[in-house]
A and B are shown apart, each in its own frame.
Chain A
Amino acid sequence: MTGKLKRMLDYEERLLSCVSIGDCTNAIKGLYSNPILEATCPMIDHGPGFEAFLARGKFTIARGLLDGKLEPSEGLAEVIYQCTLCGACREVCNNPENPFMKINAKENIIDHVEIWEALRADLVDAGVAPMSRHKEIFQHVKKEHNPYFEKHSERLNWLPKDSKYLSKGGDALFYVGCTSAYRLNYVSSTFLDITNKSKINLTISPDEWCCGSINLRTGDLKIAKQLAQHNYELFKNSEVDKLVTTCAGCYRTLKMDYPKLIDNWEFEVVHSIEMIDELIKKGKIKISNKINGVITYHDPCHLGRHCGVYDAPRNVIDAIRANDFVEMRRNKKYAFCCGAGGGVKSSFPDLALEIAIDRIEEAEDTGAKYLTTTCPFCLNSLKDAAKAKKSSIKVVDLLELVNMAI
């Protein structure tokens, strides 16, 4: 069977580097109200909570597959896919954070999320994955280049009639992404509105395809590569050096995954909030109506833990707020996931909702009027949770507040 687990074989040393210490299962250091290290895997308190659902258990499962103690099965795959790939396990893994230590285990494992994605890809190759809903999504992505069962030809229907954009050149290409194109499209129009007001010229292309994030996260590398290749050709022909996106998932994919999928990848990738942070600092965006009401911020995993963008959104909040900004207890690299990532929202919607409700409760504890974020996928998840919980907190994209403030 190991012949079908090529990636796990390649990663064997990394798998063996997990010595089972179990920090990923619920460790915390420092004050509870202000931890200096905290395991925030959503599966600790949601779902059945067996170790198999946590990082230590998944390493053991992967070893079991290589040792022949386990055979790939649909049941096993169902466990492996109940993970949002948020990367909280990586942050807490054997994490001495001692700058004076020469070596530590985390360096051996390198990147947990990469291993979970590779395991999923192996399970796909073994014919026991992905989940049935993911298969339906793959089919549609192949045909219409989006995971929302929408038509490709309607991708730019969100564009307001009076908005200005280019078909080539300008300051950057605005990579809209599927969620911002087909679902929460006011995020896209808000961003375009802000950039129009700031005299930033963006190219938008009707030929943009899904970035492939859902495929990469759920083990379908073949379609992901096709999508990446198409988008790369599109970017090359757009006469830009820079790509900007409002979606943390697209950002992670373009910034972290595309360079691995595309030879000679040469584009600068920025998130919209990084661009706005720069524009505010340069005085190109003037804040004239500061936002009243306490604000809190949810770090999207793809933007925060995966790409290390923590300061830009906080700088922007500082610039636009009239009242306090209150961090949630779990923030930045120990931020709790919204529950939607890694294909969980599409295949395990109840689990995703339960996790998101947990996050809403944490946001409510801050006393905030606004729960902001910088990812339409997180936004969607948190909005669903706020609605289910009948919460009075206003879940908004940070771009909406910026637009209100200028």
Chain B
Amino acid sequence: MGLYDELAKIVGNKYCSDKDYINISYSRGLDPVLPEIIPQIVIRPESTEQVSEIVRVANKYKAPILPRGGGCGLMGGSKPISEETILVDMKRMNKILDIDEDNHCVTVQCGINWSQLNARLFDKGYYTGNMGPGSGLAAAVGGGLSHHSGGGGGCAKYGECTENCVDLEIVLGTGEVLTFGSSASQYVKKPFIRLGLGPDLMGIFLGDNGTMGIKTTATLKIYPKPPYYAGKTYLLEKDPYENSCNMVQEMMKMGWTNHLGIYDYFFTPPPSTMGITVENLIESWGDISGGVVFYVTEAYDEKILERNSEILENIAKKYSTRELGPSKEEGNITNWFYGEQGHWQIYHALFSVMGPDYFACTTEMKVPIVKFPEMLHKLDDWLTKNEEALYEVDAEAGVSHVVMLDHNSCYIGSGLSATHDEELKEGVIELWRNQFEFMLKEGMVLYMCGQIGSQVIIDSRVYSEEYYNFFKQVKKLCDPNNLISPGKFRF
């Protein structure tokens, strides 16, 4: 019995494929330029036990494994790196195992996507707070936890999705199954908290880009969804980088998320060359020149909402030129994306607006809020310096958005937009890597890594040697034969 037969025996022939015309559909991600490699086998397990058996068989044959959730990665995280890959399509593991309203937690199989999960929670008056990644409604919980995702909504109030993970079941590279969080105790009957049993070993598997093990089950915090919200959109014509930052800082001093109920806060710089900003996106913004800020605040009480909105508006007016709104017809897009669209995935609308086969190679990075204006200016300088090189590969660069995370940080949605043109791909990748390296060496850290980001970290010697050696030892402990997602972090 060969590799395919042994794998097919685990899930049945129906859910195991070695056909190129089926497996090719797993060769793509959302980036247009990283190699599209067809995995040798695609397998669709339905249980943790099956995932464990798959990993044990892979060990027998020393075959690399790539777990894939929604396949929405922007940086090649869900793309196979070699043709020998066994791609584990996790989407069949999409069950909600328990909604524990008393403990304010939900337990799910990690193949469920954030939108399906939240639609069911909405019915009960709950949500996950942070709504996962901004890369699409199909993005899976496992993928979000592997990338510290946050941009899908609610990250100003609730932080990145990994901050809300209470329990996590992992299939290690040996096939062994371990649970982290309170369920690490043999006496805890239902998961309820992440910390309390020694060091936070779960953290090793969060933001790991699927390298340390395969996430099979997760318990996340859930929150009652506030019944009231308000959102505003403002134009900033003068010094938009500095003024948007100062606006946030003043709001922060008033306890912006804890006391004023801020759920999301976005800054969109003046028209960037990525093509997905004010110039050609929102028609109702009209012919404006400047940056745009939009935020949403939530409340459980109408009067509290009114008062909080008033406080926020007074601050916003100080730093802005004028309000775009209050109606959506006048440019207030918050009512559309939060109120009408289910309040997440503002980016979702942005994908592929640039036209056929023209999409983003993103380098999204986290910085302290206080530093983002400086970094935006530096990115502008990078663009000027590389203008010619960008032109040669038919690419453009810029910043599409800055999204505030909780506490003191934000992430900058930067990167290139490029085409599918085979002849230009190499040049685009070089520039893409260059921008990663530039930003990392300016002291930013990655919002997500995927394939390319994790490799640039190593290639640019961002870690000290001692740190990387320790990291490699942890990897060896979790995955002794280096079978899970090989190539990322240069493992």
Contacts and interface: CB of A to CB of B under 8 A. Distances in A.
Q: Tell me whether A and B are bound partners.
A: yes
Q: How large is the interface on B (under 10, 10 to 19, 20 to 34, 35 or more residues)?
A: 35 or more
A203 to B, nearest CB: 46
Given A51-B89, A98-B333, 19 more contacts: A16-B356, A19-B359, A21-B352, A30-B122, A32-B123, A36-B341, A50-B22, A51-B71, A52-B23, A58-B25, A69-B24, A69-B36, A69-B38, A100-B329, A101-B281, A101-B349, A102-B283, A102-B353, A108-B356
Interface stretch (A72-80, A157-165, A227-235, A304-312): A72-80
B183 interface: no
A92 B20 CA distance: 27
B402 interface: no
Contacts of B281: 101-102
A231 to B, nearest CB: 36
A54 B91 CA distance: 13
B137 interface: yes
B72 interface: yes
Interface of A: 13-14, 16-23, 25-33, 35-37, 48-52, 54, 56-58, 60-61, 64, 69-70, 73, 75-76, 79, 94, 96-98, 100-105, 108
Given A50-B89, A105-B352, A32 B119 contact: yes
B137 A28 contact: yes
A52 B25 CA distance: 5
Contacts of A94: 348, 351-352
B119 A49 contact: no
Contacts of B22: 50, 52, 79
A50 B44 contact: yes
A110 to B, nearest CB: 11
Nearest to A38: B119
B122 A70 contact: no
Nearest to B341: A29
Nearest to A32: B119
Contact of A27 (B42, B115, B280): B115
A106 to B, nearest CB: 9
Nearest to B422: A67
A362 to B, nearest CB: 16
Contacts of B42: 50
A98 B329 CA distance: 11
Interface of B: 14-15, 17, 19-30, 32, 36, 38, 42, 44, 70-72, 89, 91-92, 94, 113, 115-116, 119-120, 122-123, 135-138, 280-284, 328-329, 331, 333, 336-337, 340-342, 345, 348-349, 351-353, 355-357, 359, 420
A74 B380 CA distance: 52
B308 to A, nearest CB: 25
B361 to A, nearest CB: 12
A96 B283 contact: no
Contact of A61 (B24, B329, B340): B24
Nearest to A104: B353
A19 B337 CA distance: 21
A126 B346 CA distance: 42
Given A49-B92, A76-B21, A31 B122 contact: yes
Contacts of A35: 119
Nearest to A20: B28
Contacts, number: 175
Given A16-B356, A21-B72, A31 B123 contact: yes
16 contacts: A19-B357, A21-B351, A21-B352, A25-B71, A28-B119, A29-B341, A30-B122, A31-B122, A37-B137, A57-B25, A70-B21, A70-B24, A94-B352, A97-B341, A98-B349, A102-B283
Given A20-B28, A25-B70, A96 B352 contact: no
B91 A75 contact: no
Contacts of B94: 26
Given A60-B25, A103-B280, A104-B353, A21 B135 contact: yes
A37 to B, nearest CB: 8
Contacts of B420: 16
B30 A21 contact: yes
Contact of B357 (A13, A29, A51, A73): A13
Contacts of A37: 137, 341-342
A29 B70 contact: no
Given A57-B25, A60-B27, A25 B138 contact: yes
A219 B384 CA distance: 51
Contact of A103 (B14, B328, B353): B353
B115 A28 contact: yes
A25 B280 CA distance: 28
Nearest to B340: A36
Contacts of B91: 25-26, 49
A29 B342 contact: yes
Contacts of A105: 351-353
Given A31-B123, A36-B342, A101-B349, A22 B138 contact: yes
